[in-house]
Structure 1
Amino acid sequence: MTTTRALGIASIVLIALASVHAWAQPGASEAGAASNAAAASGSTTGKNIRGADRALRRKVYAAIAKSKDINAGDISVVAKSGAVTLDGTVVDASQIDKVAEITRGVPGVTSVANKLTVQKPFGGQ
């Protein structure tokens, strides 16, 4: 009985030592500390990226709205990490390139995908 009890206690001690060693792997704590430090220092997180995308989208809309001959309400702007996609309609074909040019001039825009089309009048061809 005492031998069985001693073996049980020794087994528990060995399992406890093995689990403590597994949790204290070298380098694991440094990696965790580095990621926590990066988060605390204000590095880019998903929330920060979405906020920056929304801000860029508003800047592009504001720049397009400054041009009185373009109806910015018919244009959809999607911004993702500096890449802007324009979609919607304009009344004249020359406005397609003008909107893209205005968008490229906004600080923070790295590329423009222009999917604008000319709005056809009702009953027109």
Structure 2
Amino acid sequence: MTSIQVRELAVAMAIAVVSMSAWSQTGQMAGAMASAPNASTTAASGASAPVSGRKADRVLRRKVYAAIAKQKEISAGDISVIAKDGAVTLNGTVTDASQIDKVAAIARSVAGVTSVTNKLTVAKPLGGM
């Protein structure tokens, strides 16, 4: 064989290998794409099912915020709520010590809350004492 024939053979083999690899990858993509409609159908049908995961945590957090905000004497803007699988953590400040237990009781009364960790403190006046 001449060197030109060897090069042509090597190029042809390289093209064949690359083509097979590309064809294999597109076949995998087609399989993934084919299963995607089923996944979205499952997600759409799950809309009536109970909410779980991060979405459930966000929903619970909003419910707790709304319950606290209904109380006019409590400044909900200085309170942060973290929800994780029904466990709620309250952080931030309130203006009066009696509000600490009241906010915790409000959080416990929200449907879906399984426990409350209360890390609220009383805000110090601007003077510092």
Q: The TM-score by the shorter chain falls in which range?
A: 0.5 to 0.7
Shift >2 Å, 4+ stretches = none
2:68 paired with 1:64: yes
Task: Give the 5 Å matches for 1:77-92.
Answer: 77-92=81-96
Structure 1 residue 123, shift from structure 2 partner? 1.2
Q: CA RMSD in A?
A: 2.3
The amino acid across from 1:69 in the alignment is E
Match of 1:119 in 2: 123
Structure 1 residue 98, shift from structure 2 partner? 0.1
Task: Give the 5 Å matches for 1:90-105.
Answer: 90-105=94-109
Structure 1 alignment gaps of length 5 or more:
1-39
SS of 2:74 mapped into structure 1: coil
Counterpart-to-counterpart distance in 2, 1:123 and 1:67: 27
The amino acid across from 1:101 in the alignment is A
SS of 1:55 mapped into structure 2: helix
Kindly tell me the number of residue pairs found equivalent between the two proteins.
86
SS of 1:64 mapped into structure 2: helix
Q: Deviations over 1:40-96 (max 9, x none)?
A: 484xxxx94100000000000000000000000000000000000000000000000
Q: Structure 2-normalised TM-score?
A: 0.61
Match of 2:53 in 1: 49
